[in-house]
Chain A
Amino acid sequence: MLSFLVRRLLTFVPTFFGVTLVSFAFIRLLPGDPILLLAGERGVSQERYEQLSAQLGFDQPLWKQYIDYLAGIFQGDLGTSFVTKRPVIDEFFALFPATLELSLCAIVIAILLGIPAGVIAAVYRGKFFDRTLMTTALVGYSMPIFWWALLLIIVFSSGLGWTPVSGRISLMYFFDTPTGFMLIDSLLADQDGAFLSAVSHLILPSIVLATIPLAIIARQTRSAMLEVLGEDYMRTARAKGLPPLKINGVHALRNAMIPVITVIGLSVGTLLAGAILTETIFSWPGIGKWMVDSIFRRDYQVVQGGLLMIATIVMIVNLTVDVLYGLINPKIRKG
């Protein structure tokens, strides 16, 4: 087990350095002078140009710039936004809880609906239930989620007036946000209707973001269940006369969970990519919208820092999934 862990960690390190290299290269690959790009459309005086160049290290040789960049990363310095003048890392951690809250809600919805749907489809294989569920899942999997978001807004926000169109909470409410999670903070604030407002803001974006992971989880659960249902120990369980709920829900599901857990872990990348679109449409103040806005504002220090942070998160989650997978499945551990 230890050697598996060590081997897996050893692949993490070069990949991480590769990711830093990509984010380092990003600003230098942009067409044009990086300093003029960073300074924006106003342009800069010659004096200011040289000052910026020295401050950002662009007058140094490339390898030195990269070493300095790495040194900065390990001290938690990802540069400063040219628009807000705040450190990129501070902005990231200020906005990250919003994305985390949205993604967690989405993945909870996806798991709570996807796993039962997959189990039911597998148990009723080939029947009406199965076909309806799997067709729905395929539609969800094929969904352009930015369009899906607009449709839901048309129906539920403007049509029925049930949910707000944008933001995390109604502007009526002001309170401290110690955790950064609006659901928790609104409960702590104990203001009338604050929690409900937070929930109503969260619901449509979570549904949109959950759509594709939900479809993937349902499909994966179904195929994993089908594999398990054919095993000998399942026949034994049936022969023992165990109730069907126990057979399917406990015996089969537990063994079918391994591939499903992997898929859930790997959907983090999907969620973050989906967050870019979802947050942009619902004006959700998270890192997806932050990245898109920064690209449009040409705030390239932010894009560079955000790229690195997001890739690092994806890598850490993938690493964790792999290690957990190794813990559950001895075949991988030894292989």
Chain B
Amino acid sequence: MAEYTAETEHGLQPAPPPGPVREFWHSFKENRGAVIGLVVFSTFLLIAIIAPLLAPYGPAQQFRDHLLQPPVWQDGGSWQFPLGTDPLGRDMVSRLLYGARFSFFIGVVVVAIATFFGVVIGVIAGFAPRWADTLIMRVMDIVLSFPSLLMALVLVAILGPSLINAMIAIAVVLQPHFVRLTRAAVLSERAKDYVTAARVAGSGQLRIMFKTVLPNCLSPIIVQAALSFSTAVLDAAALGFLGMGAQPPTPEWGTMLAEAREFILRAWWVVTLPGLCILVTVLAINLMGDGLRDALDPKLKRS
């Protein structure tokens, strides 16, 4: 972008094109699903942030006299616990609200780790000599040969079951996708004239890699990051469900499901509600991701 403004400063001033953000928003808001996704996502994010203010009780607070109390609209329910209580007498509303925090925390951290390392390695692979590029890509192929959840499970077995380790494992599994995507984008960009121009102007290799080329490769990476966010939330919940993620009494939605599994026939709400939260969150992110892709990457447009 810097080169562009330098050239136009010589007096010829064409009408300014709409800024990239406005242009993006213009096509994003055309997609009704994406806007719904954004609204739901923002709501959940807000809930995650202010969960302690909204939640009537602490997520681990037990009410021994109210074990497995049904939601308010069923016989035996009361407004004291609008969505009922779990087998240990903890308020479902409070636990679900706090659960939103974990899902967002997981998504943000996993995507940040996976994107950072994936993009750096991808850019390096795109500029590296042939042998180093081949080596990097073979290593990524190896990681991708293992089904993601299995690889994550095994990594957690090595690191020990905890939420942090589950997040690291999922980031490791997601990261090769960023490497491949970034490398492909870099390879198609690096032969272009503006890169040669920057080189002729004396830019260093690092500057060319990360300041000249990388900003032009961002669209597919942003889309991938959005879609990885939902994978991260789903996989972390799956690991929690298998007992390899967040450990009880953490109110993580997948872990809550696992804890409640044996009560599936007696108390539908302890199983149904956490799963519904996972589904709605993931669905909202995927809706947004589709909208992002259509808005940022016209080549990949679905329709």
Residue ranges of A at the interface with B (Cβ–Cβ < 8 Å): 11, 14-15, 18-19, 21-22, 26, 29-31, 125-126, 135, 138-139, 141-144, 146-148, 150-151, 153-154, 158, 219, 222-223, 226, 269-270, 272-274, 276-277, 280, 291-292, 295-296, 303, 307, 310-311, 314-315, 318
Contact between chains at A314 and B158 (CB < 8 Å): no
Contact pick for A144, options B160, B238, B264, CB 8 Å: B238
Q: Does the CB pair B278–A144 fall under 8 Å?
A: yes
Q: Which of B191-227 contact A (CB under 8 A)?
A: none
| Complex CA distance for A307 and B147, rounded to whole angstroms | 9
Contact yes or no, B286 A144, CB < 8 A? no
Q: Which residues in A have their C-beta under 8 angstroms from that of B234?
A: 142, 144
Q: Note all chain B residues with C-beta closer than 8 A to A303.
A: 154, 157
Q: Is B106 an interface residue (CB 8 A)?
A: no
How distant is the Cα of A125 from the Cα of B237 in the complex, in angstroms?
34
Bound Cα distance A15, B146 (Å): 11
Summarize A's interface: helix, strand, loop or mixed.
helix
A15 and B272 CA atoms in complex are apart in Å by: 42
The listed residue (A29, A146, A154, A270) touching B147 by CB distance below 8 A is A270
Give min CB distance, B290 to chain A, whole Å.
7
B53 within 8 A of A: no
Tell whether, in the assembled complex, residue A15 and residue B158 are in contact, meaning their CB atoms are under 8 Å apart. no
Binding site for A on B (CB under 8 A): 33, 138-139, 141-142, 144-150, 153-154, 157-158, 160, 230, 234, 237-238, 241-244, 254, 257, 261, 264-265, 268, 271-272, 274-276, 278-279, 282-283, 285-287, 290, 302-303
List the B residue with the shortest CB-CB distance to A21. Answer: B142
Contact A223 B302 (CB under 8 A): yes
Point out the residue from B157, B241, B278, B285 that lies within 8 Å of A295, measured CB to CB.
B157
Contact A292 B242 (CB under 8 A): yes
> Once the chains bind, are A151 and B272 in contact (CB under 8 Å)?
yes
Of A14, A21, A144, A303, the most chain B CB neighbours within 10 A belong to A144
Contact B154 A273 (CB under 8 A): no
Report Cα–Cα, A226/B157, bound state, in Å: 44
Set of chain B residues within 8 Å of A19, measured between Cβ atoms: 142, 145-146
16 A-B pairs with CB atoms under 8 Å apart are: A11-B141, A19-B145, A22-B146, A26-B154, A138-B283, A141-B286, A142-B234, A146-B257, A151-B272, A223-B303, A276-B147, A292-B242, A296-B243, A307-B146, A310-B146, A314-B145
A18–B278 contact, CB under 8 A?
no
Q: Which of B142, B160, B276 contacts A31 (CB 8 A)?
A: B160
Contacting residues, chain B, for A311 (C-beta < 8 A): 145-146
* In the complex, chain A residues whose CB is within 8 Å of the CB of B303: 125-126, 222-223, 226
| Inter-chain contacts of B147 with A (CB < 8 A) | 269-270, 272-273, 276, 310, 314
B contact residues around A292 at 8 Å (CB): 153, 242
In angstroms, Cα B153 to Cα A219, docked, is 29
Alpha-carbon distance between A200 and B279 when the two chains are bound, in angstroms: 27
CB B274 to nearest CB in A, in angstroms, measures 8
**Closest CB in chain A relative to B152 CB, distance in Å:** 9
Beta-carbon nearest neighbor of A292 in chain B: B242
**Is B141's CB under 8 angstroms from A269's CB?**
no
Of A29, A273, A310, which is in contact with the most chain B CB atoms at under 10 Å from its CB? A273
**B154 and A15 form a contact (CB under 8 A):** no
Residue of B nearest to A318 (CB): B145
Assess the A272–B282 pair: CB atoms within 8 A. Answer: no
Q: Is the CB of B279 within 8 A of A31?
A: no
Q: Which of A22, A31, A219 contacts B302 (CB 8 A)?
A: A219
Residue among A21, A29, A30, A310 making CB contact with B150, cutoff 8 Å: A310
Residues of A within 8 A of B272 (CB): 151, 154
Q: Is the CB of A154 within 8 A of B271?
A: yes
Question: Please, how many angstroms separate the alpha-carbon atoms of A222 and B254 in the complex?
Answer: 32
CA distance in complex: A26, B154 (Å): 8
CA distance A272 to B145 in the complex (A): 11
The CA-CA distance from A290 to B111 in the complex, in Å, is 30
Residues of the B chain whose Cβ atoms lie less than 8 Å from the Cβ of A138: 33, 283, 286-287, 290
A51 shortest CB reach to chain B, Å: 26
Measured between C-beta atoms, what is the minimum distance from B185 to chain A in Å?
18
